[in-house]
A and B are shown apart, each in its own frame.
Chain A
Amino acid sequence: MSKAGTKGLRERGIEILSVTVAIIIWQLIADLVVNNKFILPSFTDVLFAFIRIIEGGVLFTDLATSLLHFGIGIISALLIGIPIGVAMGWFKTVNRALDPLIEIIRPIPPLAWIPFAIVWFGLTHTSAGFVVFIGAVFPVIINTFDGFKSVPKIYVEAAKVLGCMSSGSLIRHVALPSALPSIASGIRISMGVGWMCLVAAEMFGVSTNGLGYKIWWHYYLHQMDFVLVYMLILGFLGLFIDRLFRWYVDGHLLKWRAGVVV
């Protein structure tokens, strides 16, 4: 990971070339083959649309709105999902009680919850956040549970003979740090799923603002260049959030794991 980060611009030649060629081909096809802005906007169309969005200042409102929805969903997924996963992983009875419920609810696609989101929360930010939450909470629960299940017994025993006896301190001092890699990858998955749910929730009118909402709105106006701009923004933002998370987790929380082959 860190090696790729320190690679100089010179060594990135192939990557840059590949992106440049893709853009040129896109531009040529859009201009010479398709030649229809509605069906395939060209690279320059998209660039101009992007500049107009920036100038208009709406981008930042949409960005903030979407991040708010995303934040509500992810944070509540963590606050609810991690304790549930911990309890299920550590206490067998809790696992047996909750497992059937989770297995029944989990296969319901998150977007199927949109009607209830609207009925329960109205056309609010909470409503969009709720749909993100539904998508994000299960990967968090399941990975936390898995992480707790696979805490090596030797660490628990070593802690016990060192005087760490209660479930509370064993969870805090042994199981949680040991399960952290698994929890972190659960959070990454949940952020990916949550990001997809976000766009859908905003498209279905759960919110009246946001990046997903804008895609739908510009589609109604037949401004496909703007649709594509918002698509790309969503893609880049998702990538950025994922990279930021990985950088933080690998560089700080899981520093002790360097050298572990997974």
Chain B
Amino acid sequence: MGEVKVSGISVAFEKENGESTLALDNVDLEIKDKEFVCFIGPSGCGKTTLLRTIAGLERPDKGQITLDGEDITIPDSTRGMVFQEYSLFPWRTVIQNITFGPHMKGISKNKTLEVAEKYLKLVGLEQFRNSYPYELSGGMRQRVAIARALANEPKVLLMDEPFGALDAQTRNTLQKELLQVWAKYQITIVFVTHSVDEAVFLADKIVVMSARPGRIKKVINVDLPRPRERTSSEANELRNQLLKMLAEERRN
């Protein structure tokens, strides 16, 4: 199970001059088990903050987040995360990066390696098993980051603009691969993006956020059939609708 319930979350950040800004203001959201949810919104709308709060990396000032009914306060292995920046440990090889999570759980070495090999294969990087991160391209690094997060067998995979730094071609490929992984492992995915195209291609549910303070503007259920056609007329229509909403936000 991987059901996330966000109720009445507010997060404020203290600025250097002592003032505080409200990054999230009284946000409610329900994410169903096995759902693929995208957060989208103008920069500074708190989409990353919301994701990080679900991860346990930020403490809410008000409100509560639960995963399958259990309170989330600190990070743990039930929620895996893939970051926008390259977050692989540069001193560990690809396989050592993937074994990190299971190793921390205290799982035996053989079992750890077995799990890691499975996910390494899943992302198709067997031949880079013993490479260091600096030897990999951006797309490969994010593949390893995904494998590393999955090796912990989390209930929810949190992704913070994971493909933001990649070129369009690689990005499309990785989106397709991610959907395959999602279909295969049946986990909940929460995905932050600033790309309308990406959200329309990936999500079951798109959460549009508004800025300063961060609030949820609208939740759109996407019922386009999968596999999706990026250029179908329904997709275009949805895209236009989203773009309009975002443009409105920018004007405010």
Query: Distance in Å from the Cβ of B237 to the closest Cβ of chain A?
Result: 37
Q: CB distance B134 to A174 under 8 Å? A: no
Query: In the complex, are the beta carbons of B81 and A165 less than 8 A apart?
Result: no
CB pair A260–B134 under 8 Å, yes or no, is yes
Chain B 78-104, CB-CB to A under 8 Å as 1, else 0, gives: 011101010111111100000011001
A174 engages B89 (CB within 8 Å): yes
Mark contacts of B138-153 with chain A using CB atoms, 8 A cut-off: 1 yes-contact digit, 0 otherwise. Answer: 0000000000110010
- The digit string for A27-69, where 1 denotes a CB below 8 A from any CB of B, is 0000000000000000000000000000000000000000000
B interface residue numbers (CB < 8 A to A): 55-57, 74-77, 79-81, 83, 85, 87-93, 100-101, 104-105, 132-135, 148-149, 152, 158
In the complex, what distance in Å separates the CA atom of A260 from the CA atom of B79?
Answer: 31
CB of B89 within 8 A of CB of A259, answer: no
A155 and B87 within 8 A (CB): yes
> Which A residues are in CB contact (< 8 Å) with B87?
154-155, 157-158
- Within the complex, the shortest CB–CB distance from A172 to chain B, in Å, comes to 11
- CB of B90 within 8 A of CB of A161, answer no
Task: With a 10 A CB-CB cut-off, give which of B75, B85, B152 has the most chain A CB atoms.
Answer: B75
- Name 17 A/B residue pairs within 8 A (Cβ), A-sorted: A155-B89, A161-B57, A161-B77, A161-B149, A161-B158, A162-B80, A162-B104, A162-B149, A163-B105, A164-B100, A164-B104, A165-B75, A169-B104, A177-B92, A256-B133, A257-B134, A259-B134
Residue contact B134 to A160, C-beta cutoff 8 Å: no
- Binary CB contact string for chain A from 163 to 183 against chain B (1 if under 8 A, 0 otherwise): 111000100011001101000
Contact with B along A225-259 (1 / 0, CB 8 A): 00000000000000000000000000000011111
The 8 Å CB contact of A154, one of B80, B85, B149, is B85
Cβ A158 vs Cβ B81 within 8 A: yes
Which residue from A162, A165, A259 sits with its C-beta under 8 Å from B135?
A259
With A and B bound together, what is the CA distance between A241 and B158 in angstroms? Answer: 49
Give every chain A residue within 8 A of B55 (Cβ-Cβ).
Answer: 161
Structural contact, B91 and A157, CB atoms closer than 8 A: no
Query: Is the CB of A111 closer than 8 A to any CB of chain B?
Result: no
- Assembly CA distance A258 to B90 (angstroms): 10
A189 contacts chain B at the CB level, 8 A cutoff: no
Residue pair A160, B75 in contact (C-beta under 8 Å): yes
Residues of B within 8 A of A255 (CB): 132
Q: How far is the CB of A138 from chain B (nearest CB, A)?
A: 26
Q: Complex Cα distance A174/B152, Å? A: 18
Which residues on the A side are within 8 Å of B148 (C-beta)?
A: 162
- Determine if A123 is an interface residue (Cβ-Cβ < 8 Å): no
Asked if A196 is an interface residue, CB under 8 A from chain B, the answer is: no
Report the bound CA distance from A238 to B57 in whole Å.
Answer: 48
Q: Which residues of B contact A161 (CB under 8 A)?
A: 55-57, 75, 77, 79-81, 149, 158
Q: Are A257 and B57 in touch, CB under 8 angstroms?
A: no
Structural contact, B91 and A158, CB atoms closer than 8 A: no
| Residues in B neighbouring A164, C-beta threshold 8 A | 100, 104
Give chain B residues whose Cβ lies under 8 Å from the Cβ of A155: 87, 89
Q: A157-B57, A177-B91, A256-B134 are in contact. Are A163 and B81 (CB under 8 A)?
A: no
Which residues from chain A contact B80 at a C-beta distance below 8 Å? Answer: 161-162
Complex contacts, B149 vs chain A, CB 8 Å: 161-162
| Measured CA separation A160–B75 after assembly (Å) | 6
Please report the C-alpha to C-alpha distance between residue A260 and residue B91 in the assembled complex, in whole angstroms.
12
Per the bound structure, the CA–CA distance linking A177 and B133 in Å amounts to 14
User: Are A162 and B77 touching (Cβ within 8 A)?
Assistant: yes
A180 is contacted by which of B76, B91, B135 (Cβ under 8 Å)? B91
Q: Can you name the residue of chain A whose Cβ is closest to the Cβ of B131?
A: A256
Instruction: Check B152 against A163 for contact (C-beta < 8 Å).
Output: yes
Question: Which of A162, A169, A177, A180 has the most B CB atoms < 10 Å from its CB?
Answer: A162
